[in-house]
Chain A
């Protein structure tokens, strides 16, 4: 019995881990990495790890053609700039093992020098937006919550705990850095819409970031926050805690002999 319970716990713990773990992509690295200039390194890493989907010159591959030896497919990277490259690499979203897979946050596949070399390479493909500058301390928290509710809560949940859109899982934002939040808002990774400065100004973006940062430690003045997602964990506490304790009290008070 105890064994079964233990097994259940392990499975329960392993499930999300298994679901989140990025299958280890065979990262191709040049042999003499230390001897290469950043530009050479970037080009070689790109050729080895990105070009199969994004094309050798970054112009993208719209459909895989296995007959012609083209296995991957991916959007063009010309003009996406350092903004997108930095986001996708530092969140571990890229590289993907399958082109139709949803990218998920995972440990970056490249170390810092490699990452910078790759970003520079992608940014150099064609002129594109730089890594955005953010100043959440200049944001207004209340404006942030209002803007977040209007533009983001539908998918990310109002306390940024993540959610569901048909066909994809929407990540919680507790691990996102301020710069990554700004990058995601402007580039719209995977199925997310992208919001231009006309729609969400820099000032408003700072407010949104300020708000998202507070959701890492929301005001849980009521006690244990149980995930800040509302009724589902509340129901679990009702049944697994309150009901169990009260049934135990009943069993203590009343006779337990078989009826």
Chain B
């Protein structure tokens, strides 16, 4: 009996060991033939990448090379390129290429849809005045949302558009140049343009910069109410384009008027073109509003001063812009 038992035990162990060692696990990824050459190339590519990497560190460390941007780019970009080549080669040649099939997941799940609906519906079975409840919740959410958004109003003076109308110009304010030197009427030559600012005001205030030109008195065709705005043919306009707010940095003046385009102020962003002789009307380009003109006067000492504020608000247009006037 004991011998039989031992024999049986031996048999069990034998069978178990047989099962254990038995069939080698089935491959998941299919086998492929080795590609020794591709392998060698990959190794070389990786080493080349390493070399570039080391080169980058060396170039970084050597200070005598000066501007190394090109070397840096070549070495770092080269390193990446070598790694890329190695990886692509691995993908194309060295790993086993399999094309497997799989079911697409179902585009929708009708049963779960029904169940979800049911869960939500049944969970609210204790509510009796659902509509009122929904209304109250919506009101709360709306109010909270509004409250959450309100602080955004602190970002800027959103409810007052009055700052858009402000300019530093008023009757008597002097025109000064880039460096704060006062312009005299006699400084303004024909055939060229000047950038002027309001004396004492920051130069980066949108209402401050002017473009000033002197035109032939006979060529001026200003609207009747602006006749006195151009002493000696000197006209001044806001330097900020009424289209999109770029600086009117171009002045076109013909050398030979009969055969060449007439004088114009041009914005370099979208080429809106304004006529300085007619009060800043648009000659070409997208601008929809005339360039605001600043009335000028010459003081007894010959200094160039504003005789008031602009003919209209300065800068790009906004809704209702034509109803307002520039304010000092």
Contact = CB atoms under 8 A, between A and B. Distances in A.
Contacts of B259: 73-74, 99-100
Contacts of B92: 253
Contacts of A191: 252-255, 260-261
B189 A199 contact: yes
B125 to A, nearest CB: 52
A41 to B, nearest CB: 26
Interface in B212-267: 247-256, 258-261, 264, 266
Interface string B44-74: 0000000000000000000000010110010
A252 interface: yes
Contact of A150 (B178, B189, B192, B248): B178
Interface string A149-192: 01001110000000111111000000000000000000011111
A60, A166, A196, A253, most chain B CB atoms within 10 A: A166
B240 to A, nearest CB: 14
Contact of B255 (A164, A166, A188, A249): A188
A195 interface: yes
A49 B268 CA distance: 37
Interface residues on B, range: 35 or more
B253 A166 contact: no
A166 B284 CA distance: 8
A155 B67 contact: no
A193 interface: yes
A163 B268 contact: yes
Given A195-B192, A196-B192, A198-B187, A167 B261 contact: yes
A238 to B, nearest CB: 16
Interface string A60-101: 101100000000011100000000000000000000000110
B213 to A, nearest CB: 9
B255 A189 contact: yes
Nearest to A84: B255
Contact of A190 (B194, B255, B268, B271): B255
B194 A153 contact: no
Contacts, number: 91
A85 to B, nearest CB: 14
B249 A153 contact: yes
Given A150-B178, A154-B268, A221 B255 contact: no
B195 interface: yes
B273 to A, nearest CB: 4
B288 interface: no
Contacts of A168: 252, 261
Contacts of B187: 198-199
A193 B258 contact: no
Given A163-B268, A194-B191, A198-B189, A154 B256 contact: no
Contact of B260 (A154, A164, A166, A190): A190
Interface string A184-225: 000011111111101100000000000000000000011100
A194 B263 CA distance: 13
A188 B253 contact: yes
Contacts of B261: 166-168, 191
B285 interface: yes
Nearest to B177: A199
Interface string B166-177: 000000000000
B178 A75 contact: no
Contact of B251 (A193, A221, A222, A253): A193
B91 interface: yes
Nearest to A253: B88
Interface in A220-238: 221-223
A153 B84 CA distance: 44
Nearest to B193: A193
B258 A154 contact: no
A222 B69 contact: yes
B283 interface: yes
Contacts of A165: 250, 252, 266
A145 to B, nearest CB: 14
Given A154-B268, A199-B189, A199-B192, A100 B284 contact: no
A84 B187 CA distance: 23
A249 B261 CA distance: 52
A75 B257 CA distance: 9
Contacts of B70: 223
B193 to A, nearest CB: 6
The 8 closest A-B pairs by CB, nearest first: A154-B249, A193-B192, A167-B261, A75-B256, A166-B273, A154-B250, A100-B259, A191-B252
Interface of A: 60, 62-63, 73-75, 99-100, 150, 153-155, 163-168, 188-196, 198-199, 221-223, 249, 252-253
Interface of B: 67, 69-70, 73, 84, 88, 91-92, 178, 187, 189, 191-195, 247-256, 258-261, 264, 266, 268, 271, 273, 283-285
12 contacts: A100-B259, A100-B260, A154-B250, A154-B268, A155-B249, A155-B268, A192-B253, A193-B251, A194-B191, A198-B187, A249-B88, A253-B88
